[in-house]
Homo-oligomer: A and B are copies of this chain.
Amino acid sequence: MSDLLERLRSRGWRLTAQRRVVAEVLDGDHVHLTADEVHARAVGRLPEISRATVYNTLGELVTLGEVLEVSTDGRAKRYDPNAHHAHQHLICSRCGTIRDVHPTGDPLAALPTDERFGFVVSNVEVTYRGICPDCAVGAA
């Protein structure tokens, strides 16, 4: 559902064809794409869109808090459109697939005050790594 575009518009975000396309690409699938993959899909809908614009737009969406940046161990960052639900990532070490999983409690509570060293802690990222079922089958 594209309440993403709604939210952006109501925030006074200048809506251009390029930006709409990027938002739609992110909103469509719930996979976690790299900037380049977003660009590739965007080109399918709007052939003239440039890579720079995709980067700009993704950067803004991250700043606005509508999209999350996920740095995997590999090189290219991935973008997670699911920023409004607290969730964590489960990454396959072999093929790189990312799945969203949902925490049971508040993971922030796991850090006791005496381990905070005076930091004001506002956020936790939790990433599980393992082998996905598909890769487990394919493994030697």
Chain A residues with a Cβ under 8 A of chain B: 69, 71-73, 88, 90, 92-93, 99, 101-105, 107-108, 110-112, 115-133, 136
Residues of B within 8 A of A88 (CB): 111
Judging by beta carbons under 8 Å apart, are A111 and B128 in contact?
yes
Residues of B within 8 A of A102 (CB): 115
Partner pick for A125 among B103, B110, B116, B129, CB 8 A cutoff = B129
Partner pick for A110 among B92, B104, B122, CB 8 A cutoff = B104
A101 to chain B, nearest CB (A): 5
Judging by beta carbons under 8 Å apart, are B119 and A133 in contact?
yes
Give the distance in Å from the alpha carbon of A133 to the alpha carbon of B133 in the complex. 44
The 4 A-B pairs at the shortest CB distance, nearest first, are namely A118-B133, A121-B130, A119-B130, A71-B71
Partner pick for A120 among B73, B108, B136, CB 8 A cutoff = B136
A127 to chain B, nearest CB (A): 5
Partner pick for A73 among B69, B99, B124, B126, CB 8 A cutoff = B69
